[in-house]
Structure 1
């Protein structure tokens, strides 16, 4: 797995052994960032990477000019690989890694008044987090007014059209993987 574009283009990212993570395939990541680039400039964006795993999504955003990325990963073994990737790419100063349960991390960020232009959410496909995290992102006001939550899920299990204060504005399918884009209802 490599960074596709930007300042650290081509850099190889480490991945943990075994089935602890399911890194986003290069072709899906490339399509995802093409869609994001067509909608907004990542330059100086504040990014949130929930269930970050190896950090490939947040690191890709940083490589493409995002100002900052907060990575959330609860698994300490995976978090060690994430730290290694952030350090290897030289993005430590523009990053924060929270080793917490997703919902605890989101509540912490909300209590700090943090808001994000782009939020990625890529949990294991069978995760119950799909039922709670998207609603929490909107309900805790973690998105900027024109921010977007991008959820990677199994193509056969689409998320609802409305999740709390968020509405689905796009869905793209790549084989077994779907990317679903949510924005605040009033945006």
Structure 2
């Protein structure tokens, strides 16, 4: 796993083996951040990373100057690794061990970017619940964007606040925001079958 841009561009981070994760590939991550770069200045973006795993996405935001960053995962090993890495690189990341849904139900903060990468094996309703809770709880700022990574077998483009989606290999990024009409020209269905 490497950081693809920003202050720590090219830096390799090696998580311990045995963590229950499926990291976002470098190709997908680069494509995701190219999209975000068209809409945001990364400096001082307040970021929430849900199902953070190894912290792959959190480190990318931190390297680009975003802060503060909150990384949430239910696995003790993942949270421990994120804390260690954040300390080593002086990243402004707060790693929280929590069930993501319990965290969202209690969260009183709001963020400019909410990124979620739930395990692909979760059912459709669970993916939908992540998106719906973020908007119901006003966790996303009005000018912000939520991104959820999922497989082609999960369909989220029917949900309220859907904006557009991008497909990269076996992964799809679906984007949500409050004023989606600005992004209609970029809309892709992302639902092509192989």
For the 8 Å contact 1:14–1:85, the answer to whether it is kept is no
Specify which structure has the higher proportion of strand: 1
1:58-97 aligned at under 5 Å gives the runs 58-91=58-91, 94-97=92-95
Say how many residue pairs are matched: 179
Cα deviation 1:100-136 (Å, max 9, x = unaligned): 11011112322xxx11000100011012431311111
In structure 2, C-alpha distance between the alignment counterparts of 1:133 and 1:157, rounded to whole Å: 13
For the 8 Å contact 1:138–1:184, the answer to whether it is kept is no
In structure 2, C-alpha distance between the alignment counterparts of 1:173 and 1:145, rounded to whole Å: 25
Q: After the TM superposition, which parts of structure 1 deviate over 3 Å for at least 4 consecutive aligned residues?
A: none
Cα deviation 1:56-108 (Å, max 9, x = unaligned): 111101111112100001111222222222222221xx221110110111123
In structure 2, C-alpha distance between the alignment counterparts of 1:85 and 1:102, rounded to whole Å: 21
1:184 aligned partner = 178
For the 8 Å contact 1:148–1:181, the answer to whether it is kept is yes
For the 8 Å contact 1:55–1:86, the answer to whether it is kept is no
Q: Provide structure 2 residue ranges, at least 5 long, that are not aligned to the other structure.
A: 182-194
Q: Provide structure 1 residue ranges, at least 5 long, that are not aligned to the other structure.
A: none
Instruction: Verify: 1:124 aligned to 2:119, yes or no.
Output: yes
Normalising by the residue count of structure 1, what TM-score does the alignment of the two structures yield?
0.89
Secondary structure at the residue paired with 1:8? coil
CA pair 81-28 structure 1, distance change in 2 beyond 3 A:
same
Residue range with higher mean Cα deviation, 170-179 or 18-27: 18-27
Residue range with higher mean Cα deviation, 23-32 or 94-103: 94-103
For the 8 Å contact 1:70–1:95, the answer to whether it is kept is yes
For the aligned residue pairs, the C-alpha RMSD in angstroms reads 1.7
In structure 1, C-alpha distance between the alignment counterparts of 2:141 and 2:176, rounded to whole Å: 12
Cα deviation 1:17-63 (Å, max 9, x = unaligned): 23610010001000000100001111111000000001111110111
In structure 2, C-alpha distance between the alignment counterparts of 1:186 and 1:178, rounded to whole Å: 18
In structure 1, C-alpha distance between the alignment counterparts of 2:114 and 2:81, rounded to whole Å: 21
In structure 2, C-alpha distance between the alignment counterparts of 1:185 and 1:40, rounded to whole Å: 15
Secondary structure at the residue paired with 2:22? coil
CA drift of 1:186 comes to: 8.0
2:186 aligned partner = none
In structure 2, C-alpha distance between the alignment counterparts of 1:26 and 1:40, rounded to whole Å: 20
2:103 is aligned, of 90, 105, 108, to 105
